Amino acid sequence: LFENITAQTFLTMQEHIRDVLTAHEPRANIIDVVVSETFNQHEIQVSIVFTIVNLQEPVTLEIILERVR
């Protein structure tokens, strides 16, 4: 998006997303956060898998982050 992306950048983004969700959304139990680059390399795909407290079924949320000019 704004810099050359490395594997460390993806790991840092995953950690930050997990930390923010844990701190600010107590109703969600985070199962997995996956950050990956899309085919055109100008977007980042974020997949968050979580369960809602008192519900068993996992929910997957997929978000595309893209640079806005």
Condensed to tens digits (0 to 9), the pLDDT of residues 13-44 reads 999 999 999 999 999 999 999 999 887 778 89
Tokens 């996956």 locate to 34
Question: What integer pLDDT is reported at residue 55 of this predicted model?
Answer: 93
Question: What integer pLDDT is reported at residue 3 of this predicted model?
Answer: 65
Question: What integer pLDDT is reported at residue 5 of this predicted model?
Answer: 79
What is the spatial distance between Cα 30 and Cα 15, in angstroms, rounded to a whole number? Answer: 12
CA separation, residue 30 to residues 14, 22, 68 (Å) = 12, 7, 28
Question: What integer pLDDT is reported at residue 42 of this predicted model?
Answer: 80
Order across the sheet with 28-37: list the strands.
28-37, 43-52, 59-66
Question: What integer pLDDT is reported at residue 53 of this predicted model?
Answer: 92
Question: What integer pLDDT is reported at residue 2 of this predicted model?
Answer: 53
